[in-house]
Amino acid sequence: MAGLIASVSGGWNGIIRKRRYWSMFGIFAIVLFFGYSLFILSTEYDRVSKIINFLKPNKNSEQENNEEVHLDPFIAELQAKYKPTLHRIDNSTFVTREGYKYTVNDTNHYFTEPLGKRLLILDADSRLETEPGHMLAPPPLTHEDIKRGTAGMMNHFLYAMIHGYDYRLVKSPKDPSRHGTWSKVPLIREALKTHDFVVFLDSDANFQYYNLPYEWLMNLWGVNGDTLAAMPEDPNSKVNQDSNGWVLWNTGFVTAQQSERTQDMFDRWDNCPSGERYKECKHWAFDWAHEQAAFGAFVRYEYEVGKDLIAISCMDGNGASYIGDKKCGGVFVSHHWGDKDRTIKQLYDRLDGHSVEELHRHFHENQETYYINAEKHTYPIKDLTI
Ligand SMILES: *[C@@H]1O[C@H](CO)[C@@H](O)[C@H](O)[C@H]1NC(C)=O
Ligand SMILES: *[C@@H]1O[C@H](CO)[C@@H](O)[C@H](O)[C@H]1NC(C)=O
Same domain (yes/no): 28, 70: no
| pLDDT of the residue at 77 | 97
Which-ligand-closest: CA of 110?
Answer: 2
pLDDT band at residue 203 using 50, 70 and 90 as cut-offs: very high
Same domain (yes/no): 76, 183: yes
Lowest mean pLDDT among 15-19, 76-80, 158-162, 177-181: 15-19
Instruction: Write the CATH number for 321.
Output: 3.90.550.10
pLDDT over 80 (residue 243): yes
Same domain (yes/no): 198, 97: yes
pLDDT band at residue 28 using 50, 70 and 90 as cut-offs: low
pLDDT over 50 (residue 306): yes
Contacts of 17 (CB under 8 A, 6+ apart): none
Interval 197-205 mean pLDDT:
98
Is the pLDDT higher at 47 or at 74? 74
List pLDDT tens digits, range 113-137.
999 999 999 999 999 999 999 999 9
Same domain (yes/no): 238, 128: yes
Residue 246 φ/ψ, nearest 5 degrees? -90, 125
Q: Are 272 and 284 in contact (CB under 8 A)?
A: yes
| pLDDT of the residue at 55 | 46
Closest atom, ligand 1, to C-alpha of 94: 5
> Which of these three, 56, 73, 102, is where a domain ends?
56
pLDDT band at residue 61 using 50, 70 and 90 as cut-offs: very low
Interval 378-385 mean pLDDT:
90
Region of 385 please: left (phi>0), alpha (psi -120 to 50) or beta.
beta
Tell me if 378 is assigned to some domain. no
Which-ligand-closest: CA of 223?
Answer: 2
Same domain (yes/no): 70, 202: yes
Q: How many domains does the chain have?
A: 2
Q: Tell how strand 119-125 and strand 197-201 pair up.
A: parallel
For ligand 2, atom 5, the nearest C-alpha belongs to 105
pLDDT over 50 (residue 15): no
Tell me if 207 is assigned to some domain. yes
Same domain (yes/no): 284, 349: yes
| Amino acid (1-letter code) at residue 248 | L
Q: Are 174 and 379 in contact (CB under 8 A)?
A: no
pLDDT band at residue 56 using 50, 70 and 90 as cut-offs: very low
List pLDDT tens digits, range 337-357.
989 899 999 999 999 999 999
Same domain (yes/no): 50, 67: no
Same domain (yes/no): 38, 79: no
Gap from CA of 93 to ligand 1 centroid (Å): 7
Same domain (yes/no): 298, 250: yes
Lowest mean pLDDT among 22-31, 142-151, 213-222, 297-306: 22-31
Same domain (yes/no): 25, 162: no
pLDDT band at residue 181 using 50, 70 and 90 as cut-offs: very high
Tell me if 133 is assigned to some domain. yes
| pLDDT of the residue at 39 | 54
Structural domain including 234 reads: 59-373
Select from 223, 175, 56, 191 the least CA-distant residue to 120: 191
Same domain (yes/no): 21, 106: no
Same domain (yes/no): 251, 324: yes
List pLDDT tens digits, range 273-293.
999 999 999 999 999 999 999
Interval 190-203 mean pLDDT:
98
| Ligand 2 proximity of 105 Cβ (cutoff 6 Å) | yes
Chain mean pLDDT for the chain: 88
| Ligand 1 proximity of 93 Cβ (cutoff 6 Å) | yes
Select from 296, 97, 126 the least CA-distant residue to 203: 126
Helix (H, G, I), strand (E, B) or coil at 303: coil
Gap from CA of 84 to ligand 1 centroid (Å): 12
Gap from CA of 90 to ligand 1 centroid (Å): 10
| pLDDT of the residue at 113 | 97
Q: How far is CA 114 from CA 83, 169, 344, in A?
A: 13, 22, 29
Percent of the chain whose predicted confidence (pLDDT) is above 90:
79
Which-ligand-closest: CA of 217?
Answer: 2
pLDDT over 90 (residue 363): yes
Pocket test residue of 103, 105, 221 for ligand 2, highest count of atoms within 8 A of CB = 105
